[in-house]
Structure 1
């Protein structure tokens, strides 16, 4: 097996053979997905970095440093240093320094920097192009990826079948969804729209797949036309008679490999493409064909984010089922962990086992973050055989996990004190400040038109009071048996124009991390809902809590909670009992009743 040093050297040799002076390596696939199939894990293969967001740039020359940089955000500050060799790679934090910024400082006049046009969004490619041309260098679109040329055992893309997603769970037929897209095309005076995001395609056509771990999507591209008909580009072996019948006569099935060539059919047509989700190769092909391109946000993104009544009901059902499984896990953990019988891997496996016992689990919604002690201080930690730690007595354990069920996608984080002694005062205080922020956001009432950016401070305020913070967003959207991270909404310090709309699902996950010691995060999912307020002069919104699992009461410093916050905790735990208790029995039920008793 090649070392990462040998892989980097092989890539440099390949770049020199192609007369390239550098190459940009994103972590994505042809659909700009967050989670990608094994065949597209080029960044991890090259560097060893196992996070879900990052990129790298390799130069053939090592002048002024390693000549190679890996770019990650604050979620991965610790993880990237643990997984990626600092003797080979420079660590660069984004957004403070973007890949385009780094290129502008490191390329020289006359150099040729390669990029794969199937792995960069149009907007990203334009930023890179501008940066290198400013230095007199050239950005070169490669015909085939040079990493693939040196990755000898690269997996093939998944051949798993695509399957129909029932209309009773989807809440709306695919034909009706396509009619909405056709109306959007009419409004925007366009003949067709290219849909590239895998979760958009899955939602639009009411289909699901197994081509990407943790996200039930099928590798495909789609073009929807102004008359509501569509072309779906998908490998023929993934389609059977049932799916054909489900899609109907107005969806033409074509091989996925024909997609690029088929764009030539739109010569003289006006075609909408999302510059954030559509890769540069699509723009290049349409331009070459003589199409007029309209840059517009994928018209599926917002309808997908605003759940209909069937999707809401499905989420509530999935959350109830998942809450019982996680509660059983926490009871098991309370018995075995203080005895030193549990490590991070066995805990994650046990949690998956409880979910599987529901008989409804299709997959996890992401790799379980099972972090004991200092490992929990890495927000997106991924346990491995090498990093696996025991859950030591008298330590903090953070577990962030979720399941994919046919009726909904779950995502929950709980922070647990592994006894038997009482937690130290510092840990109790910091946990409680995180909890206060969680409660403040959960209780928020805000006018229509409010963005997540505007309310993010509610979750951070109690940490800020003591000079503390966390380097990630407070909330992300969640799909319906789809991607666990879903836009366009979010709750974070990063300004996003998208307002929160009734029907959107978000996470509520304030946190605190003490590097080298422990991590704290409390996460529930919430549904944006309309709020009727007597005398209100504005249409108002709030949150319906969806996740029901006990919050570790041993970590709470009661003196820091107000009467209103204690009342919220007691009401929340009463709802946990109401929803979860009927699904438990025996010692599991007794444990739940003790954990959800009033705090006072």
Structure 2
């Protein structure tokens, strides 16, 4: 077992050697990625916290971990309260906490390859009140005390075929060039890994469960592109695919190349490009234009091939999940199964298709109290037996060449006690009502995710309940399972994603939930496609939008309280289950097909 206390002590010693009075450790990489390679898991190595979002601050006599509502319980289980304060965001901020706890005149270190300029501006302003300053480091002090830090992945790039991409790379780069002309800019830096993968129609294996490669790209106003990547990651097939218009350079040359744009207008995304990129461009004499990476929106608007691919991927994934849910119902109540064994069984069902390339994220296989941790990550240490009387939550997804999936279902294990069942059925049905409210929403073009988030929460609010995460996130096309810029979340969700206008062609998850700490968790998640809708009698000049449900797997009928559903909600549920049978029924046989028919029988 690693001693995380000793690691904290070692880091503090290193800070003294470096002349620093503190250091900020975010969970990200040089590309501001959500999921990162093992080499960049500094927060987990230092603290023991295994969530996918968070930041630590280390001071000489104090230290804190900052996490959002998804990880409130998890961080307290995995990191020691003897070493760390636990701070909830967005109620508090790293900058504000530093201003309150750093010593007067303190020198707080940061890695300029791991922070945005916006964060630096906020933190500098907060520290200035105490005469404290932020100090950029050339070498990350965590790396200096991490003796067995993994090397970055050396996985090779692969070609993502035009038939599944729906457009070739030349056309995509031409679109970026047109955008640059509109903005009167000479080039754009693509630092987000999924933007590079999408623009060049390549995929990689450098981040677990996200098929991207560690690289940078600079696209010029004529569409030609400089790709910075470790040369051993490029084979002849990829080189031929990229063509002469994409110049390949060693990844180590990227920082120096930024100095070659003197007198040019270069776009860098203030949300996705780190401070070091802005610094290098400005030092080289470029005028930095702080605009969102143009690929972000282009990538979010799925084309016909991507939508068709996702439908195919969802069907095979739904069939695998349905086989798994039947297995849970028939086997887990007998005893002998655990969170890890169940996750392994679902993986095997997905692999049976012969088309699974990876999971889209580590499966959240959570029974009982672990289900109340929204982003629970089962490990050998936390692995719990699945026992009768519990609710079992499985949130999982697959990576297929034609699509990325993400779905959550909840199953009761064996018989539930009467009192327990009544509460669980009430909560489950309220979550279902919120899910249906989003699935059936109709709204004007340009509506934001923040405007419709309350639809999912109202049935819970009416009972004095809520959930502490967003209702929906975007999803990639054989790319990141969490993709921007769109999101369904409360308007004050960190960043601007909840304020992004929703547009036809975007995909989103629909995943309201309820979590009773120490007892159980409930979440129902499907993926949705935004499409145009015609509303009878509506304003003919107003474009209206709605959702098409893309995910097909039964919603557990034994947890539904029909009396809480109104006639329209019952009709939606029956119609949804009829669609489940139509879409995945042909992919199932024997007992699996019969079980699905029973689970999808009419309730209304």
**TM-score normalised to structure 2 length:** 0.97
CA distance in 2, matches of 1:174, 1:535: 43
CA distance in 1, matches of 2:119, 2:252: 24
Q: CA deviation at 1:421?
A: 4.4
Residue of structure 1 in register with 2:32 after alignment: 32
Residue of structure 2 in register with 1:68 after alignment: 63
Residue of structure 2 in register with 1:512 after alignment: 514
In structure 1, the gaps of 5 or more residues are none
CA 1:418–1:2: 2 relative to 1, 3 Å: closer
Match for 1:586 among 584, 590, 600?
590
SS of 2:465 mapped into structure 1:
coil
Residue of structure 1 in register with 2:394 after alignment: 399
Match for 2:568 among 564, 571, 578?
564
SS of 1:424 mapped into structure 2:
helix
Deviations 1:508-531 (A, max 9, x none): 001000000000000000000011
Residue of structure 2 in register with 1:433 after alignment: 430
Residue of structure 2 in register with 1:499 after alignment: 501
8 Å contact from structure 1 (residues 133, 139) kept in 2 = no
Residue of structure 2 in register with 1:268 after alignment: 263
8 Å contact from structure 2 (residues 360, 399) kept in 1 = yes
Match for 2:128 among 126, 133, 142?
133
Residue of structure 2 in register with 1:179 after alignment: 174
Match for 1:536 among 535, 538, 554?
538
Match for 2:273 among 278, 281, 304?
278
Residue of structure 2 in register with 1:475 after alignment: 472
Match for 1:599 among 558, 578, 603?
603
CA distance in 1, matches of 2:337, 2:252: 47
Residue of structure 2 in register with 1:56 after alignment: 56
Match for 2:194 among 196, 199, 207?
199
Q: CA deviation at 1:143?
A: 0.4
Q: Mean alpha-carbon deviation: is it higher for 101-110 or for 296-305?
A: 101-110
Q: Mean alpha-carbon deviation: is it higher for 44-53 or for 532-541?
A: 532-541
CA distance in 2, matches of 1:50, 1:109: 33
8 Å contact from structure 2 (residues 428, 522) kept in 1 = yes
SS of 2:294 mapped into structure 1:
coil
SS of 1:300 mapped into structure 2:
helix
CA 1:140–1:517: 2 relative to 1, 3 Å: same
Q: CA deviation at 1:385?
A: 1.3
CA distance in 2, matches of 1:21, 1:366: 36
Q: Do structure 1's residue 245 and structure 2's residue 247 form an aligned pair?
A: no
**Structure 1 residues 134-533: aligned runs within 5 Å:** 134-421=129-416, 424-495=421-492, 496-533=498-535
Q: Mean alpha-carbon deviation: is it higher for 132-141 or for 426-435?
A: 132-141
Residue of structure 2 in register with 1:545 after alignment: 549
Cα RMSD over matched residues?
A: 1.0
Q: Do structure 1's residue 573 and structure 2's residue 577 form an aligned pair?
A: yes
CA distance in 2, matches of 1:577, 1:111: 63
Q: CA deviation at 1:476?
A: 0.3
Deviations 1:370-417 (A, max 9, x none): 110000000000011111111111211111000000000000000111
**TM-score normalised to structure 1 length:** 0.98
8 Å contact from structure 2 (residues 74, 376) kept in 1 = yes
Q: CA deviation at 1:269?
A: 1.1
In structure 2, the gaps of 5 or more residues are 493-497
Q: CA deviation at 1:338?
A: 1.1
CA distance in 2, matches of 1:209, 1:149: 28
Q: CA deviation at 1:124?
A: 1.3
8 Å contact from structure 1 (residues 132, 138) kept in 2 = yes
Deviations 1:531-574 (A, max 9, x none): 12233212110000000000000000111111111111111000
